[in-house]
A and B are shown apart, each in its own frame.
Chain A
């Protein structure tokens, strides 16, 4: 890693030796710790709380920093910028306080300005491009010409931002006037800075795609600086993208994902997942809509079986059990097969969830059976593992028991299969072989799995900006209601940040966040022998009502789209629930169907 890094820096050629040395030092410090740390770093990220008390401190330091920066001469501005940039190869939005501290300390320690480096020029090459006029409505930034993708800066954005790269005479602020020597600072439109930031992110992605790592390196540093001008969702999301780009640029081994969503952090993943569940309506929407489709498909069935492709904490099932327990005509016998990845600590979490569900089922008088299946990949499943052991051979058993109605449920589990060729087809073949009455699929409504890196990056930037924006709105409401929303929000952002990291910095089998949009899933499911099942207006009404009551903010929208339901933020759909059944033509003998799928 060190060698590569060195290459990237040395390759620039025009770096001041001092800067390069410092860069190297810093690189060792931050990058090294981060990679060695592995879980530690991720756990540190977990503890990430920007408490409001700290925010004041951070704000004060930022102010000091601005003044310090402003006090250097105009000629040195560029040097300063690059100096700052070189200090912050790894920028994590969570430790902005430390970051600012470091910079302040270094500014005080070494008043001698550094020589102007080359990267600034690269950035200059980019900057002079005419910025698109911010055709932004109040408080919204519109990227390029895509009017759909919007980022709303938090109210904090508008407060002020000063950057130093301008002639000292241009203007001053009241803040500056307060200090002894009037410090030259310029108030810059945050929106413009926001657009610059997005452009820098895009330029950096472009550079990554063209494998010009030098340029990418310089840009990622500039992103870090520009990002300080942002607030709220924009700052956070840009931070994650910058981090992901950094990881990609300094990828230690080309094919090793940097802990973004690796299996060894499954426990952490579960915790983050739970906070994401609590703090935003996305997973709840997923569960309600999928459960609705399952409940309706099970109407009148005496024996039912749900196969959950991602059991986790089983959050989806208590509500369905309860609804089945009280359905007219009495509850069915309920079998649940929960599938989960192997736990590194062998915690047996899958069984514990089963125990608890069994306890719930007991109290509401449902005949309940549970089976946990540990599978490293869903592609390892075979139909016989899912079939009812009691009635799997009912053909000769002659039991007059009604065959069980099967539902297969997948919430954000299918896109990961696209990393390995044939895996999805294998899984869908297995699904078809168990002849489910219904298959419920929830997926991100985005295309993070096609086109060039830049296209993927752009799509992801739009997607996650919107996502972060919605979390911001929800947390505000939650805070107003009962407080504590901020912590959930922060953890949800870490949850999403890991996805961003995977989308941007990983490739090959490591890139598992291969989100595809409904149209693509429709084609895939159709090819695999499934027909769409329209999700009823009942589900639509309910989802809308539940969201309206509790989602926080009125930005969330439930929409019906060709029999599927989407949940989005303002005009942008972000996740989609679809339901499927085995196509009439593909029905018949499960074994034959499985064989057909294998071909």
Chain B
């Protein structure tokens, strides 16, 4: 059997980078992790992703794959055990739809909340709670979006953890609370408790500090 060489270019605090780590660990794939400094991108990264010049990039036997959701599908198709995407074409389309929704609707709305103030923030909160209600509708009674185990949408939805941490760092009331969003709240607890997810989130203290620096510039410093 040929030696597999798998490298992941990422950053410790990036949810899209961490998604790839989740996928690789679910498949039991050994990989070399390279931490990038986004203020000083390596020649290797620029060579492997000349179009977007961004992380994450997966390099498999010298060949690069970019864009987190594209990478996850590549991983799922290359290492076929422990499937991440469902087998049924309709369910696959649904998983892809909701993953795209998270990246293109939910996440920009989440970013607006953490920087908005006063009345504007209230409007953004209403918007994102509606987004989260939509996601709850997709989860229904399941343990995870993927069913009994983590699936494509659970991995994409890891980004919700980043919103939770950002809100904690800023001393905001949690939007994703048990009272308002019980179904999603339950899912989040199960996600945070999952062994693989636990290995693929930034160290809490460092993450909180980073959020304070990134989003808290309007808050008077001590």
Asked if A and B bind, the verdict is no
Interface residues of A, Cβ cutoff 8 Å to B:
none
